[in-house]
Amino acid sequence: VFDFHQAVDGLQEVQRQAQEGKNIGTTKKGIGPTYSSKAARTGLRICDLLSDFDEFSSRFKNLAQQYKSMFPTLEIDIEGQLKKLKGYAEKIRPMVRDGVYFMYEALHGSPKKILVEGANAALLDIDFGTYPFVTSSNCTVGGVCTGLGIPPQHVGDVYGVVKAYTTRVGIGAFPTEQINEIGDLLQSRGHEWGVTTGRKRRCGWLDLVILKYAHMINGFTALALTKLDILDVLDEIKIGVAYKLGGKRIPYFP
């Protein structure tokens, strides 16, 4: 993720707001533009940075110029960035390994337990989430295989971690959201703030429909229920159990 990826992330949000009257609500950390570069096969990887720096510099300049042509107001200190990146290369070189071989050795060497922790919620998955209000990667169980390069037969127990109520940061569907004193109570007692942006999380009752949908995709072998104590002060706790479409109850997540 380069500095100009982060700058472009912000510019794209401004564009969406101007053109469509709404944005996606990204963290503006450059994740979307970086994945776009990857899909376009113009992205640069750590192995590129650590090999021929002249070739890396040429490709970096080409990528920067592509973004400048799309966003004329984008300012990029190319030489300054390259100097900084060259310094980073020497610092991280001793820590870089072939990820596939590293995981293979871990899986087939002396017996050990391997724990993989996912980032982001299942409904933020680029393919199975509430598109377009999602992240840019697969944060469901398949991401373990594609992200680490390990075969699916090595995935054992799958633990789903779920709060006793539902939260969301930014724009997107939220059927059980409580835009009232209940939502405010959950937000304040649960200290619900976005980790990256510091934005208030939207809060509502536990939605079993999306939990079931997440289970369909991930195949949970167990659930870890968190923050149940946040609900201690409530006389009544509600749970979303089904959705209706056109006045009729539907058995699936639409």
- Helix, strand or coil, per DSSP, at residue 110: coil
Q: What is this structure's pTM?
A: 0.86
pLDDT of amino acid 220 = 98
Domain segments of the chain as ranges:
3-96, 157-250
pLDDT of amino acid 11 = 85
* Full pLDDT tens readout for the chain, 254 residues: 998 999 998 888 877 777 776 666 677 789 999 999 999 999 999 999 999 999 999 999 999 999 999 898 899 999 999 999 999 999 999 999 999 999 999 999 999 999 999 988 999 999 999 999 999 999 999 999 999 999 999 999 999 999 999 999 888 899 999 999 999 999 999 999 987 778 899 999 999 999 999 999 999 999 999 999 999 999 999 999 999 999 999 999 99
pLDDT of amino acid 96 = 96
d(CA 205, CA 178): 7
pLDDT of amino acid 237 = 97
- Of the candidates 179, 180, 202, the one whose C-alpha atom is nearest the C-alpha of residue 190 is 202
Q: What is the sign of the dihedral through the CA atoms of 244, 246, 247 and 250?
A: negative
**Domain 3-96: top CATH class:** mainly alpha
pLDDT of amino acid 23 = 66
The Cβ-side half-sphere exposure at 35, using a 13 Å CA radius, reads 10
Cβ 171 vs Cβ 17: under 8 Å: no
Q: For the sheet containing 165-168, what is the strand order?
A: 165-168, 202-207, 239-240
How are beta strands 202-207 and 239-240 bridged, if at all?
parallel
Domain 157-250 = CATH 3.40.50.80: no
The residues that are catalytic are 38
- Of the candidates 181, 239, 232, 229, the one whose C-alpha atom is nearest the C-alpha of residue 209 is 239
Q: What is the DSSP letter of 224?
A: E
Alpha helices in the chain, H assignment, sequence order: 3-20, 31-39, 46-50, 53-70, 78-92, 99-108, 142-148, 181-189, 208-218
